[in-house]
């Protein structure tokens, strides 16, 4: 009996490392001091070019959206999802990403699938100016079924202390500006899959007329990175807070950046809820409150600013290519989020 007979193929693991080395090196930035394959990744903080840098870190996964990837055989988009989600999580505190690490666990390592995932990671890292510094691939026979895997990401970024965005200066009367999502992003897939595949009885290859595409393509649309359009606002002093709208929707995520004694009122008619969310709600008979606490409902990021700065913020966003940002509500005395 040897290790390969027990289910772990060391040669396959080495083949994956060989094939992904060039993908990872293609993301390297001037701060990277190590090579792929080192025990630890090295990064020089001086490359951030900040006087008083504060490190900001986050970790996340893709959740049950992976089930859709398994069903379609498309695995590169989940890598993009993972990087972009993590980038957004630190972006809302004003941080620019420095480097990213990934963890891939599977029952039986398929080099082609692993390379697809890392291709998605590397594309997103390059787009965000973030180095794919290293990672771990774990082959765990008997723990995951054949053809299944889980993937997680870990990001480190930096922000100059004087430009840290933490919501402390948010006050009543401040304006909430919503930026559109590209779809479900990486949240709500347990409910979405139940509705689409169990209730509606559809397959990933079925075309849904209301969506204008196959169900698989609609559900796998990558999580959007907001860094390109938010970057010009960083350091301007125009932004008092930001919220990444992930699991829990606006209802649970917006209060995370509001000071004690502050709540928010959201105008539900200020933006058009995308067709995918409308279709899911109609097919599943999902109550409005559950929809708002499960999905982003078409708003993936919220920028909070003073009322006198709102027009300037929208102009900066438009100049960076985001022309669909809209005022969706305001901060008020109280607690929690109300909808009108």
List pLDDT tens digits, range 144-169. 998 899 999 999 999 999 999 999 99
Paired with 56 in beta bridges are 157
| CA nearest neighbour of 303 among 323, 330, 277, 321 | 330
| Domain 175-339 falls under CATH 3.30.1330.10 | no
Phi, psi of 98 (to 5 degrees): -105, -55
Q: What angle do CA 243, 244, 245 make, to 5 degrees?
A: 105
CA distance 225 to 262: 28
pLDDT (tens digit per residue) in 35-90? 887 889 999 998 888 999 999 999 999 999 999 999 999 999 999 999 999 999 99
Give the C-alpha separation, 132 to 32, whole Å: 9
Distance of CA 240 to the CA centre of its chain: 21
The class level of CATH for 10-163 reads alpha beta
* pLDDT tens by residue, 86-108: 999 999 999 999 999 999 999 99
- pTM recorded for the entire structure: 0.94
220 Cβ partners below 8 Å, 6+ apart?
Answer: 65, 68, 69, 72, 74, 77, 78
Under a CB-based contact definition with an 8 Å cutoff, are residues 253 and 304 in contact?
A: no
Q: What percent of the chain has pLDDT over 90?
A: 87
User: Tens digits of per-residue pLDDT, 110-129?
Assistant: 999 999 999 999 999 999 99
Domain boundaries of the chain, sorted by first residue: 10-163, 175-339
Residue 198 DSSP label: I
Q: What is the pLDDT of residues 207-249, one digit of tens each?
A: 999 999 999 999 999 999 999 999 999 999 999 999 999 999 9
Cβ atoms of residues 253 and 320 within 8 Å: no
Query: Both tokens of residue 58?
Result: 């986050």
């Amino acid at each position: 009996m040897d290790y390969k007979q027990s289910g772990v193929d060391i040669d396959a693991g080495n083949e994956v490392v060989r094939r992904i080395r060039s993908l990872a090196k293609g993301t390297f930035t001037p701060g990277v001091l190590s090579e792929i394959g080192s025990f630890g990744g090295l990064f020089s903080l001086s490359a951030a070019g900040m006087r008083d840098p504060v490190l900001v870190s986050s970790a996340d996964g893709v959740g049950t959206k992976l089930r859709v990837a398994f069903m379609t055989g498309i695995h590169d988009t989940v890598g993009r999802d993972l990087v972009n989600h993590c980038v957004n999580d630190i972006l809302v505190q004003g941080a620019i990403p420095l480097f990213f690490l990934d963890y891939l666990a599977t029952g039986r390592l398929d080099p082609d699938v692993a390379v697809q995932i890392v291709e998605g990671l590397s594309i997103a890292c390059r787009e965000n100016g973030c180095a794919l510094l290293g990672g771990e691939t774990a082959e765990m026979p008997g723990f995951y079924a054949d053809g299944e895997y889980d993937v997680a990401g870990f990001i480190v970024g930096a922000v100059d202390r004087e430009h840290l965005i933490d919501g402390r200066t948010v006050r009543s009367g401040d304006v909430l500006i919503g930026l559109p999502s590209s779809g479900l992003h990486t949240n709500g897939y347990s409910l979405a899959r139940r509705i689409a595949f169990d209730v509606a009885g559809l397959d990933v290859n079925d075309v849904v007329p209301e969506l204008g595409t196959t169900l698989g393509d609609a559900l796998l649309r990558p999580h959007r990175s907001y860094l390109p359009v938010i970057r010009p606002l960083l350091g301007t002093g125009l932004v008092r807070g930001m919220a990444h709208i992930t699991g829990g929707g606006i209802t649970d995520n917006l209060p995370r950046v509001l000071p004690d004694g502050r709540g928010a009122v959201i105008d539900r008619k200020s933006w058009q809820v995308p067709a995918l969310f409308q279709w899911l709600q109609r097919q599943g008979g999902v109550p409005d409150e559950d929809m708002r606490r499960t999905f982003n409902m078409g708003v993936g990021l919220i920028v909070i600013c003073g009322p006198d700065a709102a027009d300037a913020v929208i102009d900066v966003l438009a100049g960076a290519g985001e022309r669909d940002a809209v005022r969706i509500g305001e901060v008020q005395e109280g607690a929690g989020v109300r909808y009108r």
